[in-house]
Structure 1
């Protein structure tokens, strides 16, 4: 009834889901509890901020009988439509209209880790690596220590946007190969990242993919040289960008207008932003994740363990070093 490829993908999804549940062992023990880290006696961004973010839209409709365009309980009142952290237009968040609140937010975090791992699986498979490599890549991503640290701090929006990054690369592979559905699909994925509530990663990824397109156009020996390839690639990229801008305009324009009324409308200085950035000492975390302390006693650069954590797992580090040593190269992959 089902093709072998479909069965392989289904089994991969089940394996990754099982692994995600292993990662979420504390939540399995208490399914209606909160998934929090050891710092500050469990108080984190999920308990102090994002639970309110997720439950306010339903409360506004049920209690006040109005659309959640303004939140009077956050920062003494703030715009909610056009707030880059509200996640109002992110479809998975609409499930909170059904209820669930606290425990649902924790399971949504795990669900997004699984979704990101599944995306990595499909990226690896699209690059013509075998099933085992895809599953290994997916497991490594969803259990990446950096993402686990973000989960422990309750960075709900950041985990949501990170879950879509592999899917952007998956669609981008089809985009560069000329898939007819790649342009609208890429625009949709980028829009979902934007709506998820942490737009920085969306901008970074758009910049990175743009550099990849420029590289493909400027280095002809690194990609197919069929007539019109570079012209088609550039045209499709501008088309995907235009569609993305059109999709996110409903929220990006209110965000822009609201930002002009903010006390931080001029942004942060380089010195201010540097206070929560990586330092040279953080490279020690590559080999020892707790070289600078843990979440409850961090003493490295920046202010918080999870903001400057620089460890991606020993498996990933070993495979990366092995790849450099072997220098294996797939000619189909030009980035």
Structure 2
């Protein structure tokens, strides 16, 4: 055991670093007494707007694009807490219009295990800790993926930091369910990699070829199920696309290397991983599908209307100059 811990100590230190960095980055909203919730945005609406001056709130909010977090997500979490405290399953939201489905919506992440933080901590603080937990998870899983591919610890740390503190994850702070859904992608890819390699979990089980891939199937299915339960179906859809692309490209590389024989069982194992992942996520995914079919957007938006939401071609400049068309926190130099 001591020799194992000694051998794993450098990797554990790297994982600890990847857990510490998000905490340092978000220290003000975890241990610093502040909150991620854009409460100043409320003062653009009544009844809060009438008290803006006396509360000393600026007329222009810091970033109006963050309003979903306080107007929508916070309301979801509040209703979830109130329902569970009353001993009720939050299946139905009676306070919106004439009532709307709640649990089937999914984006509240009610079935996601990490949402326990939203139930046991005060909500203004819980959002910061939830974000830290998901960024730490994302960085750790990316580190494991890179190490599983046989690369160095330094490569793993750089990859983990690049993933967890990427623009995608930081800007998704306003949508916690997006962070949660995307955090599991590296683990799914790692399990697909191990399946394709035919790697055994323990050396003694190397001869049990029929069961060799089963641990990776189960772990990968758990990760995919977590992505489903996070509640943002688009992110899970993208996760499945990336997983399929990765599996196909790795399979082609194995064929090119002449290692074609294990591909049949490996493909079946990957399919089983996806199937079990769907099964785990079905508690959230199936009610969502039923509710989505009743959406007012179903078959009512033309392709031209959808394309109208796209940014114009000139916004390709942001790849080189991110704020050339302004930043929602201050707008200039050019208009958005």
TM range (shorter): 0.7 to 0.9
Q: 1:249 to 1:235 in 2, by over 3 A?
A: same
Could you tell me which residue of structure 1 aligns to residue 298 of structure 2? Answer: 265
- Choose the corresponding residue for 1:157, options 172, 177, 194: 177
CA distance in 2, matches of 1:267, 1:204: 24
Match of 2:142 among 110, 116, 120: 120
Residue among 185, 206, 230 paired with 1:196: 230
Give, in whole Å, the separation in 1 of the partners of 2:301 and 2:12.
Answer: 46
- 1:29 and 1:242 mapped to 2: Cα distance? 41
CA contact (8 A) 2:224 2:278 kept: no
Q: Is 1:185 matched with 2:219?
A: yes
Residue 137 of structure 1 pairs with residue 135 of structure 2: no
Q: Which residue of 1 aligns with 2:202?
A: none
Q: Distance in 1 between matches of 2:301 and 2:236?
A: 19
Q: 2: CA distance between counterparts of 1:223 and 1:43? A: 49
Alignment check: 8 A CA contact 1:71 1:78 kept: yes
Residue in structure 2 matched with residue 14 of structure 1 by the alignment: 16
Counterparts in 2 of 1:136 and 1:226: CA distance versus 1, 3 Å = same
Change (3 A) 1:106 1:254: same
TM-score by length of 2: 0.78
Alpha-carbon spacing, 1:218–1:164, altered in 2? closer, same or farther (3 Å): closer
Task: State yes or no: 1:48 paired with 2:78.
Answer: no
For 1:4, the equivalent position in structure 2 comes to: 6
* Unaligned residue ranges in structure 1 (runs of 5+): 306-335
Following superposition, the deviation at residue 220 of structure 1 comes to: 5.3
The residue number in structure 2 matching 1:333 is none
Question: Residue 191 of structure 2 contacts residue 216 of structure 2 at CA under 8 Å; is this kept in 1?
Answer: yes
For 1:1-335, what aligned pairs fall within 5 Å after superposition?
A: 1=2, 2-27=4-29, 30-34=32-36, 36=38, 38-40=62-64, 44-63=67-86, 65-74=87-96, 77-151=99-173, 154-179=174-199, 180=213, 181-217=215-251, 221-223=255-257, 225-227=259-261, 229-266=262-299, 268-296=301-329
Superposition deviation, residue 293 in structure 1 = 0.9
Summarize deviations over 1:169-227 as a string: whole Å, max 9, x none: 22222122124211111111111101101111211221232233344555654355153
Aligned residues: 297
- Relative distance call for 1:268 and 1:134 in structure 2 (3 A) is farther
Q: Which runs of 5+ in 2 are unaligned?
A: 39-60, 200-212
**Cα shift at 1:261:** 2.3
Deviation, structure 1 residue 23: 2.1
